[in-house]
């Protein structure tokens, strides 16, 4: 399969990290009188100190490590070849950081669940600036626990089931617009618009159109600069993203002030954030609310859009599966007389569609891995992970391991007729930092698939193979496709 890997953003990010290292050291020296951070071993010192206890593997060239190898080939091949040579735990050096990669269910559970307190989530500072330092996924401890509980409650089944008619309206409008164009559309980009609108609905409930439009415009600018070289020179993509982030803060500040003045108890995420009280009666600042809103939007958009794009590709490539999904969804449509909205119970009873979704998530493995950082020297199965080293649980390697999923490169939804073994299928992550919005994401998938296969047809245009990374994997060129109304559906009077 042809693989297109977007390497430039990652190489530039590595170079920026390397070039900024002296300035980072200077800043740390200036802060020496504040509360001292935990001591960390320089990775070369750690390597010498634990020479016989570090996991096997190669650290590559000085400074650059194995970054060129990672981003000059299919990342799947890079990780898989390392695992084949060294086993389920191995070391490397990428993006300026010494790393230990783990690719067994037991090791992933050790890092993310049973010993999660020994590791912390880690992200580049450039990305924290764009989303906001108070966003939930940049934190651990009490703050993270309290915010996660709040986000989960606002996106739990009890909360989102009432939004089904509104999500259906967004899906129907999106599909109608793609079909009415009569031209080829970038499926991934259109799915991003759809998931953004659902995210806005989940966060704000019904939001004034003027606010919705200006939020969308500025968020798109932020999104385009998120994976760009973090250059603050005016005119660069990253600088434009920073400016858009400031505007988003001002816009969200206006919305927050309006909501606070109304003093109404809302069930949407914004209402939950505004009504939050900790054990001491403390509330969230406007900046903390804004950071978490943007964080949720970011987390919800690209991953859901990527999943939907892959599902469309797999259904397009497997006509028998598409026919089975369509038959299942047509039965539900006819049950509703072609007019009534889906019910929550119906979205919970789509077994064929559900298995297609699960297999799509396994095959695509949109979250291929995650980053953690060791807070202390950690020993695991005789190896030492030194304090300060990055740890990367490799979800994709596990999802494509033939020991857990026979013939893993074959798209076979029937494999999910039996539940997978524990800790072998983690499309939404695992542990305290797993995706708190997974129920909303699945609901979006069910609703859009229902309306798509019962009322529309689509054909993929151009090459049907290849993957691009930006940073999440999506079909080549965003899966260019042409959508049209299903005339057979219209003749049966099953369409609205």
User: Is the CA virtual torsion 337, 338, 340, 341 positive or negative?
Assistant: positive
Query: Rounded distance, CA 360 to CA 315, Å?
Result: 9
Tokens of 484: 């049209």
Query: Rounded distance, CA 300 to CA 239, Å?
Result: 23
CB-CB neighbours of 409 under 10 Å: 10
CB-CB neighbours of 336 under 10 Å: 14
**Helix, strand, coil tally for the chain in percent (to 5):** 55, 10, 35
3-class SS of residue 369? strand
Q: Are strands 390-393 and 97-102 parallel, antiparallel or unpaired?
A: parallel
Choose among 97, 41, 25: nearest CA to 64.
Answer: 97
Q: Collect all residues with Cβ–Cβ distance below 8 Å to 10 and sequence separation of at least 6.
A: 67, 70, 71, 95, 471
Query: Rounded distance, CA 197 to CA 172, Å?
Result: 12
Residue that is written with structure tokens 């949720």 in the block: 296
CA dist list (Å): 479 to 186, 189, 362: 6, 9, 19
Is residue 435 marked as binding? yes
3-class SS of residue 101? strand
Query: Rounded distance, CA 89 to CA 98, Å?
Result: 14
CB-CB contact of 185 with 469 (8 Å): no
Q: For 205-324, where are the E strands, in sequence order?
A: none
Residues comprising the binding site for heme? 435
Residues comprising the binding site? 435
């Amino acid at each position: 399969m042809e693989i297109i890997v977007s390497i430039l953003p990652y190489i530039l990010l590595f170079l920026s990290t390397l070039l900024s290292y002296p300035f980072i050291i200077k800043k740390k020296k200036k802060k020496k009188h504040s509360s001292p951070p935990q001591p960390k071993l320089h990775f070369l010192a750690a390597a010498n100190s634990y020479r016989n206890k570090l996991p096997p593997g190669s650290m590559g060239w000085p400074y650059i490590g194995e970054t060129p190898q990672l981003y000059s080939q299919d990342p799947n091949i890079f990780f898989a070849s390392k695992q084949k040579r060294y086993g389920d735990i191995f070391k490397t050096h990428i993006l300026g950081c010494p790393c230990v990669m783990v690719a067994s269910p037991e090791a992933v559970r050790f890092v993310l669940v049973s010993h999660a307190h020994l590791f912390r989530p880690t992200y580049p500072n450039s990305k924290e600036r764009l989303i906001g330092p108070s966003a939930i996924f940049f934190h651990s401890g009490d703050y993270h626990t309290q915010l996660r509980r709040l986000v989960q409650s606002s996106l739990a089944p009890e909360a989102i089931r009432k939004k089904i008619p509104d999500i259906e309206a967004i899906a129907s409008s999106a599909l109608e617009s793609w079909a009415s164009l009569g031209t080829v559309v970038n499926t991934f980009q259109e799915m991003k618009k759809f998931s953004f609108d659902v995210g806005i609905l989940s966060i704000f409930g019904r939001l004034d159109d003027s606010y919705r439009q200006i939020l969308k415009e500025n968020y798109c600018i932020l999104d385009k600069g998120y994976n760009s070289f973090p250059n603050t020179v005016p005119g660069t993509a990253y600088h434009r993203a920073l400016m858009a982030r400031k505007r988003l803060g001002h816009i969200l500040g206006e919305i927050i002030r309006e909501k606070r003045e109304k003093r109404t108890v809302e069930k949407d995420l914004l209402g939950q954030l505004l009504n939050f009280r900790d054990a001491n009666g403390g509330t969230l600042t406007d900046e903390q609310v804004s950071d978490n809103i943007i964080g949720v939007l970011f987390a919800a958009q690209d991953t859901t859009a990527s999943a939907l794009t892959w599902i469309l590709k797999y259904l397009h490539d497997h006509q028998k599966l598409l026919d089975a999904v369509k038959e299942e969804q047509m039965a539900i449509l006819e049950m509703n007389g072609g007019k009534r909205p889906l019910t929550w119970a119906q979205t919970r009873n789509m077994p064929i569609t559900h298995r297609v979704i699960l297999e799509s998530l396994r095959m695509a493995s949109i979250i291929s891995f995650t980053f953690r950082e060791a807070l202390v020297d950690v020993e695991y199965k005789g190896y030492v992970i030194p304090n300060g080293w990055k740890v990367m649980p490799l979800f994709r390697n596990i999802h494509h391991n033939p020991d857990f999923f026979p013939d893993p490169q074959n798209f076979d939804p029937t494999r999910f007729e039996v539940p997978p073994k524990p800790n072998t299928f983690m499309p939404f992550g695992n542990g305290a930092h797993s995706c708190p919005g997974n129920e909303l994401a699945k609901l979006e998938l069910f609703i859009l698939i229902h309306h798509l296969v019962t009322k529309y047809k689509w054909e993929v245009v151009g090459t049907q193979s290849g993957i691009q990374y930006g940073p999440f994997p999506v079909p080549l060129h965003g899966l260019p496709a042409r959508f049209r109304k299903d005339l057979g559906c219209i003749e049966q009077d099953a369409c609205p």
